[in-house]
A = this chain, B = another copy of it.
């Protein structure tokens, strides 16, 4: 039907007759001649319809934006001075011999090069929105990323194995999407939150290296940038430990960035322990593009007069830390108040600070309401450890470590963006040596920081029982520019260790058997040492595309309320369908009960 794509026409076609199919991107009448920018997925080309050829001219005169045309004509150089350097085919144009309308179009609700449309309208008219060059680019980028991943994994002996979508509900972690069974009245499948257990079973089945690019489902409240269905690059290997798995996976990510974007990521990725990340950045997913670090001050605040610092320094889980902002002395009172309000969102009770006017004058050169409550020794430690210079400002956090880390960690990010401190480029890292457990204040029990199948660090098996809070795991996260893009671990392959972890998590043997019996059984029949990782494809592509939201790298996303505005899903269904599935909808008053 055509000889090539519009966007691929170039000088090398000059003199050739071509047939093109595409959409009318723009149509204008200029000096009695009609110019049409014809668009396809590869780009635009200018079609010229001269009144000297009455038939194509007549058709061209009738077309409007987004009509689908088939055009035959000869490629020629554009007249001097009329080249358009913004498009690939800008030096040439096609003089039309024939123009055929393959399909007309109603006037579209927005122009394809309008980038200011509300997301509501974009999602309702998603088909037109997807025609916009930026969306075309994003989804093709996604394809290239997925293909680069597949090629790398295929070359490294990983086997793509599909795991079930209709699986068993294990109410642990996030909420499941359920699917009522017709053949088994009153029973339900669950959509997988991840193929975690299946990939472990595949290792126990001896496949050695598995991967899958796979949809996962979580019925969570869609805060921030989440989707009820999202896509994971899911990987698992046998007989490798943390150093080998992380080395292999970072080389995959390097290969993808190189192949798709011609970007060289560092080799190897830097590596921080969880404790280091928390100490330096107050976060287990630090954005290394921001050149600010927290400074530890707990040890020097134990004896100061300032009660807030002293009390925090004496808490078992307390921390006092500083964040030095270069040039921060210029912050206004208003700005400092705003940052104080900001850290309060994370539980901080206030935001102490010191302005550094003249370092060489010691405490004389500083300016702060809290100065008089600090010892000389503490002030010296602050200046020395932060390396503050004249004109800097030092913020302080003092509270339980969790509050200090979250508030100063968030403040660090906010300051980085507000003050344009974010360095360009890509700053991946590994965060390793995570704690096995965190204490759940509400449920009064330990919960798994990763998941209950994560192996304890070598030698930490006994801590599972005697001091769970100190036990470290073989878990690792890959972080890129402040986003956790992948997380994984070496898994437990010994049934006795798995039982210990269940005990530490207060999961009874009966409950373990009921929920994970198939895993426990498989562990008894020669499970190999194994581990893996899952990457968030949506996030990786959104980062690469510089998209504001993962919705911009998903063809048909849901809104924050879980709706597809295009197809109007979810929707009511026939009573007959519900009957077949042995369920009924609760009446609203019952639902509230």
Give the B-binding residues of A (Cβ under 8 A). Answer: 1-2, 5, 21, 23-24, 39-41, 66-68, 70, 102-106, 108, 126-128, 130-131, 136, 139-140, 142-143, 146-147, 150, 154, 159-169, 171, 175-191, 197-198, 201-202, 204-208, 215, 217, 219, 228-229, 231, 238-241, 244, 493-494, 517-518, 522, 524-529, 554-556, 558, 561-564, 566-574, 577-586, 588, 590-591
Contacts and interface: CB of A to CB of B under 8 A. Distances in A.
Given A128-B205, A185-B586, 5 more contacts: A136-B207, A169-B571, A175-B182, A180-B180, A185-B585
B143 A23 contact: no
Nearest to A203: B127
17 contacts: A39-B206, A68-B526, A127-B525, A130-B205, A131-B205, A136-B206, A143-B160, A146-B160, A168-B564, A168-B568, A179-B570, A184-B561, A184-B570, A190-B569, A197-B567, A201-B566, A517-B568
B570 A528 contact: no
Contacts of A529: 1, 68, 102-103
Given A526-B23, A526-B104, A591-B579, A181 B568 contact: no
Given A103-B494, A130-B202, A525-B127, A556 B164 contact: yes
A473 B206 CA distance: 48
Nearest to A591: B582
Given A1-B529, A239-B1, A585-B186, A166 B177 contact: yes
Contacts of A185: 585-586, 588, 591
A68 B528 contact: yes
A494 to B, nearest CB: 6
A529 B585 CA distance: 42
A573 to B, nearest CB: 5
Nearest to A19: B239
Nearest to A244: B1
A591 B577 CA distance: 12
A525 B66 contact: yes
A41 B206 CA distance: 6
Contacts of A563: 184
Given A175-B580, A206-B136, A525-B105, A168 B217 contact: no
A66 to B, nearest CB: 4
Given A127-B201, A136-B207, A150-B147, A572 B1 contact: no
Among A21, A104, A525: residue with most chain B CB under 10 A:
A525
B562 A181 contact: yes
A182 to B, nearest CB: 6
A85 to B, nearest CB: 24
Contact of A2 (B150, B180, B239, B580): B239
